[in-house]
Structure 1
Amino acid sequence: METEHQAVNHSAPCDVLCFNIFVRSEIQSSVVSQPSVKIHTEDARATLVALQNRNLTLDEALLIARMPGNQGVIRKLQEFRIASTSESFANALYENAHGARVTGIPEIAIGFDRVKPKSQELLSLLGEIEANPKTFQRAIEDRIRLITPEHADIHLEGYVVAAGDGGGYAFGGTDFFLNVGIADGLLVAKSTTIHELYHSVQGAYAADRAIKIDNTQGPVQIACANQERLFASLYEEGTARFVEDTALLSQSKSEAAFEILADFNDGARHVHNGITLLDMSINALGESTSLSFEDVYEVGFLGHGVLYGVGYVMARDIADSGGRQAIVDLLKEPSYMFILRYAELAKYGIDDAYPKLGSNTVAAARRLAAGCK
């Protein structure tokens, strides 16, 4: 049956969008290294076709669940402490395709109840992306080129999916994920891809930003490591939000674009609340407490809303002072330098456009810079 074949066909050439982000320069007529990006759409297509297939078998659903992009969906849900597995993904896909009631928490969390009613519309969106790769990639190329080291020789892999929570995500490596189930239009898909693609650029330089802490079992060292983890999230989300092209979103009339812009504006408007929560959290991760990183992070950082708002303002002000190259330089510096670079700005703390960070935040960054002493 044609629908069944499409649901499990992972290799059809038209199902993969591949494009290069060009960072070109000619030196004595030679072509230098350039970042390359390969984006796969087959995970989302297989999922969307399967949702419309009332003859879908559980084995076919499990094959789709095991596709690389859908494994990323499962991994992201696990970060939220949801016991998601390939089997629960397959169960959710099978039950939704057959119109059955979905009851398990891991199955509900996959979000197919939101995706299935618009699966045909989302297949059309995939068709737009695949049919016009140059149109889709142009804004992405232009933005990433500005904030990537010249002559960077890196390969980035992207997966378009149609499941899970959030419009996109990455895991600190060179893979990134775009969820068309949330990114409900071409402009939103472009903007989200820019954000997640920059996370992959960050992932390519993660080793350069890594810090080495001796005796990681000591309370001081554990505190330093956890504080640096929070600084890393702040840096990654703040600079990715800065790189993201919100001007694209203002051109869109989609519900997702409206919600993203509203969150963006709300985060910037209430940046002082975010700074306070960040400072309290850094203090809570100090050596005198027994709170775990996960417990502190769940209080106000899951979903990254606070990190977006505070980190964006910091990245914006750093770029205003030192140009985009100042953001590029941060790719190869420990994440605590994001805090110190911001605190060293000439206009730091003069008004609400350059808000002051909390004393715990700055002190923790300085201690990390001194080798956690």
Structure 2
Amino acid sequence: MSRRCLRFQLIWLLLATAAQYCHAITVKIHTEDARATLLAMQNPNLSHGEALTIAEMHGNQAVLRKLHEFKITSTTEDFANALYAMAHGQPVTKPNEKNILLEIEKPKIPQLLALLQQIETNPKGFQQTIERRIAVFTPPNADIHLEGYVVAAGDGGGYAFGSTDFFLNIGIVDDLAVAQETTTHELYHAVQGAFASDRELNLSNSQSLKKEACVETGHLFNNLYEEGSAMYVGDLSLLQQSHSPVAARMLADIDDGLKHIDDSATLLEMSVIALNADQPVSYDDMYSVDFLGHGVVYMIGDVMAKAIAEEDGPQGLAALLKQPTYNFVLRYTQLHNYGADKDYPRLGPNTIAAAKRLAGGCH
């Protein structure tokens, strides 16, 4: 074979390999919702109509949707009333208006506007760094467009709702390093949303009397996979670059969670048992214990995702974006080091049996 032919073959191979691992992930981050909210609180001439227009913005509607997940029934009108009151120096007294939490934001407005400025003017250091991290854990040739909205109201530092939109609340996440970690976490949730149909559980052929329990257990494994993998991809090491109280609390919670990782696995096991009992616990009640507050079950999910990524590589974790989430549980139990030490804690027998049952179609 001539050197010229060999050279062309090598060039073709390099191009083919590069194409195979090409990711088309684009991210657009909107900061106008947060900016409008913060500036409105400083405007003593704000009209109620202007406050209502801000409350109706897409990101601020997501603030309300998140509150509704916490069983808080605040409305668009409540948001507007709270914003109007803050702008005019009036007290916010009604519970549904206080739950918008604008009173927490107002003393920090200069700091939060400066953080918005950092996010907007440093796309290479903020947004592009996040995109590169996400691409490593995304299937080759993925073509995904994601929309992020920065808000400054409500509870929760960041959230997503299963679509390709994600939300960052700088009122809670008020430091650039924390914002970067939280945005990466929520952005990966948006990536998960892009592949949600690939992970759907198919139990159409099941005639089992326990089919409803299988569906609820499938939801539990969905949350375990989604939160665990997003927590790992979010890159918690970023928090060590921050000196903010928020980062310190997050790092302390993570350290405590890892010290008690067996408790996380035990709670997961108890949740599987509770969902499959003759008189099952409701999924909402179970979810609030597992994933809200201290989010105890987050930790076993993070450890599982980390272990899979270390043994199978980042693309091994990425492959699970397109598989039913019982495979997240089963693949973890198949790892070479599974159960070897505290970094690979064992799962409970009911958890493993439930994953196998789902894999078998819940028969």
Normalization by structure 2: what TM-score? Answer: 0.91
The question of 1:137 aligning with 2:130 is answered no
8 Å Cα contact 2:25/2:135 also seen in 1: no
Instruction: Give the letter for the 2:342 counterpart.
Output: D
- Equivalent residue number for residue 56 of structure 1: 46
Q: How does 1:91-240 map to 2 (within 5 A)?
A: 91-214=81-204, 219-240=209-230
* In structure 2, C-alpha distance between the alignment counterparts of 1:30 and 1:253, rounded to whole Å: 40
Q: Map 1:1-373 onto structure 2 (within 5 A).
A: 26-27=15-16, 34-214=24-204, 219-286=209-276, 288-303=278-293, 305-373=295-363
CA contact (8 A) 1:173 1:200 kept: yes
- Whole-Å separation in 1 of the counterparts to 2:19 and 2:185: 31
Listed as ranges, the gaps of 5+ residues in structure 2 are 1-13
Distance 2:93 2:211 in 1: 43
Contact kept in structure 1, 2:267 and 2:297, CA below 8 Å: no
Q: 3-state SS of the aligned residue for 1:101? A: coil
Aligned-partner Cα distance in 1 for 2:302–2:331: 14
Q: Note the C-alpha offset of 1:191.
A: 1.1
Question: Could you tell me how far apart the structure 2 residues matched to 1:138 and 1:243 are?
Answer: 15
Change (3 A) 1:26 1:59: farther
1:93-128 deviation per Cα after TM superposition (whole angstroms, max 9, x unaligned): 112222222222222221111111001111111111
**Superposed displacement of residue 347, structure 1:** 1.6
Name which one, 1 or 2, has greater alpha-carbon Rg: 2
The CA distance in 2 between the partners of 1:218 and 1:179, in whole Å, is 43
Native 8 Å contact 1:263 1:305 kept in 2: no
- Kept after mapping to 1: 8 A contact 2:206/2:361: no
Counterpart-to-counterpart distance in 2, 1:34 and 1:370:
35
- Equivalent position SS for 2:135: helix
- Closer, same or farther in 2 for the Cα pair 1:30/1:329, shift >3 Å? closer
- One-letter code of the match for 1:38? K
| Alpha-carbon separation, structure 2, partners of 1:216 and 1:175 | 33
Letter of the aligned partner of 1:275 in structure 2?
A
The answer as to whether partners of 1:162 and 1:180 remain within 8 angstroms in 2 is yes
**2-side partners of 1:319 and 1:298: how far apart?**
28
The answer (yes or no) to whether the contact 2:228–2:305 under 8 Å persists in 1 is yes
| In 2: Cα distance, 1:219 partner to 1:261 partner | 44
Higher RCO structure (Cα 8 Å, ≥6 apart): 2
Gaps of 5+ in 1: 1-24
Deviations 1:45-64 (A, max 9, x none): 00000111122122111111
SS at match of 1:295: helix
Distance across 1 between alignment mates of 2:347 and 2:211: 23
The DSSP-based 3-state class of the residue aligned with 1:331 is: helix
State the AA in 2 paired with 1:365: A
Give the distance between the partners of 2:30 and 2:207, measured in 1 at CA: 41
Letter in 2 for 1:82: I
CA-to-aligned-CA distance 1:231-250 (integer Å, 9 cap, x gap)? 11110110011111222210
Normalising by structure 1, report the TM-score: 0.89
Root mean square deviation of aligned Cα: 2.1
Structure 1 residue 217, shift from structure 2 partner: 10
1: distance between equivalents of 2:15 and 2:81? 53
1:224 to partner: Cα distance: 0.7
Deviation at 1:229, TM superposition (A): 0.6
User: What SS does the corresponding residue of 1:349 show, helix, strand or coil?
Assistant: coil
**Deviation of 1:28 (Å):** 11
Q: Secondary structure at the residue paired with 2:148?
A: strand
